[in-house]
C-alpha cells in the first residue's frame, strides 16, 4: 500500500476524529475509496474501535431513487438507530463518476433529503469527519493526471495541522469580536450580521468543531444578509455544472437569483424548504496548500484567496449553546475568488484585501 494512504488514515483517525478505544464508528465508503477504507480499518483496529462499514455508492443511490415513487418513509428506524448509537462517522469520499446521479430528478432528490433529515441530524451529532480518497474520476474533474492529483490531495491533507490552527486563530478572534461583515468585489457588495455568533477555527479536527479533512478555513453563521453577490468559481452541484451564480438578498432572504449554468438545479435546491433561501455559512479559505480549483467543494472552499457562502443549514458550533441557527435539509456552498479587486471588512475595518490578511506581509493598508 502507498504509504501516503496509511498516513491519510492515521491523520483522519487520530488528528481529525480523535478515535478512542471502544468508540462505535461508522465508516462510509464511496465506490472508489476501497484502499483508504482498508487503511482506515487497520488504524481503527489498532485503536480497538468498533466498526460498521457502509457502502456509499452513487450508482446504488441513483438506481434506488429513480425506481422509487418519491413518497419516502421518514427516517427509517434501522438507519436512524445506527447513527444514534454511533460515536463517530467517517465519510470516505471518492467516486468513479462525478455525474453518476446526474439523471435523478431534482424533486425526488429533495424529497429523499427531507425524509432523511432526522438521520442527517443524528449523524451530525456524532464526531463526524468527511475526507476524500484520490480517484481517477476526481482527477478528471480537476483536469489533472491521476498521479498529479494524488500529489495535490496528499499535499492538502498531510499538513502540519497544529501550526495552521494557530494561524487561523487570528481570524477567528477578529470575527468573534465583530458584529457585521461586508464583502466587496467587482460585482459583489454584501453585508451580513455575525453579532453573537462564534467563528470556527476549522483545523480538520472535531477538537476544533471542524469536520473536513482537509480543512483550513474559518467559518461562521451569518444572518440578516443584504445586498448582492456573484460566485465566479465554477463547480458541480448534485451532478450539474453550476457557473456564475448571482444572488440578491433582502431581509436575510434570497429574493432573486440567476446562474449562467445550472440555474434549474440551483432553483430546485433553493426550493427544498424555507431555510434553503437563507445563508447558513460564511467561510474564508486559508489553506494555501490548496493551490488550484479542482471542482471539489471539500478542497475548493478551503483554498487561500477565496471566500464562500452556503445557503441552507447552519452549523450549531457557530451558535450560542442551546440555540439553533438557520435550519434546512440542504447546505450548498458557493465560492468567490477574492485574490484581486476585493476587500473583506469587519465593522468597517478591512481584514483582508486582494487575498492578503492584514497581519500578513504584502497587505496593502491603503487599498
Site for a copy of itself, rule CB under 8 A: 22, 24, 26, 29, 31, 34, 37-39, 41-46, 48, 50-57, 59-61, 63-69, 71-73, 76-87
Beta carbon of residue 3, minimum distance to a copy of itself (angstroms, whole number): 15
Residue 39 or 286 having the CB closest to a copy of itself: 39
Query: For residues 67 and 361, which CB has a smaller minimum distance to a copy of itself in the complex?
Result: 67
**Distance in Å, CB of 365 to a copy of itself, minimum:** 54
Q: In angstroms, give the least distance from the CB of 146 to a copy of itself.
A: 21
Q: For 19, how many CA atoms within 13 A lie in the half-sphere containing its CB?
A: 31
Report, in Å, the least distance between residue 51 CB and a copy of itself.
6
CB-nearer residue toward a copy of itself: 43 or 334: 43
Residue 254 grid coordinates:
434570497
Task: Report, in Å, the least distance between residue 27 CB and a copy of itself.
Answer: 8
Task: List % helix, strand, coil for the chain (3-state, nearest 5).
Answer: 35, 30, 35
**Minimum CB distance to a copy of itself, residue 301 (Å):** 28
Identity of the residue, 83 or 128, whose beta carbon is nearer to a copy of itself in the bound complex: 83
Closest CA to 299 of 236, 238, 365: 236
Least separation in angstroms between CB 359 and a copy of itself: 43
What three-state secondary structure class fits 215? coil
Q: At what angle do helices 58-67 and 106-115 cross, to 10 degrees?
A: 100
> With contact defined as beta carbons under 8 Å apart, do 203 and 210 qualify?
yes
Task: Give the span between the Cα atoms of 292 and 277, in whole angstroms.
Answer: 29
Pick between residue 104 and residue 317 the one whose CB is nearest to a copy of itself: 104
Rg (CA), the chain: 20
**H runs (alpha helix) in the chain:** 3-10, 34-46, 58-67, 77-84, 106-115, 117-124, 136-142, 146-157, 161-177, 263-270, 297-300
Sign of the CA dihedral running 122, 126, 131, 133: negative
Q: Which is nearer to a copy of itself, 116 or 353 (CB)?
A: 116
In the complex, least distance from residue 80 CB atom to a copy of itself, rounded to whole angstroms: 8
Cβ proximity to a copy of itself, 73 vs 366, nearer residue = 73
C-beta closer to a copy of itself: residue 89 or 282: 89
Q: Which is nearer to a copy of itself, 26 or 350 (CB)?
A: 26
> 98 CB contacts (<8 Å, ≥6 apart)?
137, 138, 140, 141, 236, 239, 295
CB of 50 to a copy of itself, least distance (A): 4
CB 43 within 8 A of CB 21: no
- The partner residues of 334 in beta bridges, in order of sequence, read 309
Amino acid at each position: 500500500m502507498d504509504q501516503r494512504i496509511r498516513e491519510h488514515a492515521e491523520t483522519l483517525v487520530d488528528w481529525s476524529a480523535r478515535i478512542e478505544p471502544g468508540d462505535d464508528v461508522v465508516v462510509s465508503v464511496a465506490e472508489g475509496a476501497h484502499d483508504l477504507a482498508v487503511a482506515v480499518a487497520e488504524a481503527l483496529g489498532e485503536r480497538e474501535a468498533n466498526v460498521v462499514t457502509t457502502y456509499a455508492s452513487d450508482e446504488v443511490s441513483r438506481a434506488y431513487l429513480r425506481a422509487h415513487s418519491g413518497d419516502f418513509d421518514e427516517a427509517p428506524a434501522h438507519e436512524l438507530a445506527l447513527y444514534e448509537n454511533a460515536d463517530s462517522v467517517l465519510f470516505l469520499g471518492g467516486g468513479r463518476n462525478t455525474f453518476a446521479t446526474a439523471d435523478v430528478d431534482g424533486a425526488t432528490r429533495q424529497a429523499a433529503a427531507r425524509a432523511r433529515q432526522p438521520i442527517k441530524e443524528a449523524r451530525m451529532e456524532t464526531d463526524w469527519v468527511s475526507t476524500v480518497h484520490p480517484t481517477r474520476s476526481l482527477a478528471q474533474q480537476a483536469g489533472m493526471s491521476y498521479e498529479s492529483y494524488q500529489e495535490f490531495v496528499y499535499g492538502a491533507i498531510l499538513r502540519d495541522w497544529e501550526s495552521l490552527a494557530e494561524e487561523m486563530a487570528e481570524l477567528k478572534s477578529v470575527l468573534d469580536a465583530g458584529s457585521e461583515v461586508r464583502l466587496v468585489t467587482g460585482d459583489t457588495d454584501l453585508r451580513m450580521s455575525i453579532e453573537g455568533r462564534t467563528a470556527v477555527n476549522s483545523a480538520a479536527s472535531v477538537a476544533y468543531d471542524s469536520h473536513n479533512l482537509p480543512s483550513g478555513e474559518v467559518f461562521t453563521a451569518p444572518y440578516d444578509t443584504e445586498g448582492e453577490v456573484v460566485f465566479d468559481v465554477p463547480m458541480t452541484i448534485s451532478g450539474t455544472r453550476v457557473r456564475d451564480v448571482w444572488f440578491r438578498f433582502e431581509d436575510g432572504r434570497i429574493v432573486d437569483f440567476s446562474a449562467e449554468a445550472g440555474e434549474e438545479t440551483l432553483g430546485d435546491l433553493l426550493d427544498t424548504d424555507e431555510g434553503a433561501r437563507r445563508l447558513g455559512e460564511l467561510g474564508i479559505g486559508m489553506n494555501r496548500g490548496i493551490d488550484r480549483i479542482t471542482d471539489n467543494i471539500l478542497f475548493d472552499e478551503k483554498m487561500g484567496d477565496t471566500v464562500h457562502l452556503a445557503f441552507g443549514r447552519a452549523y450549531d458550533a457557530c451558535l450560542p449553546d442551546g440555540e439553533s441557527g438557520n435550519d434546512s435539509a440542504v447546505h450548498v456552498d458557493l465560492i468567490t475568488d477574492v485574490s484581486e479587486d476585493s476587500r473583506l471588512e469587519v465593522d468597517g475595518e478591512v481584514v483582508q484585501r486582494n487575498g492578503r490578511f492584514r497581519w500578513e506581509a504584502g497587505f496593502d493598508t491603503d487599498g
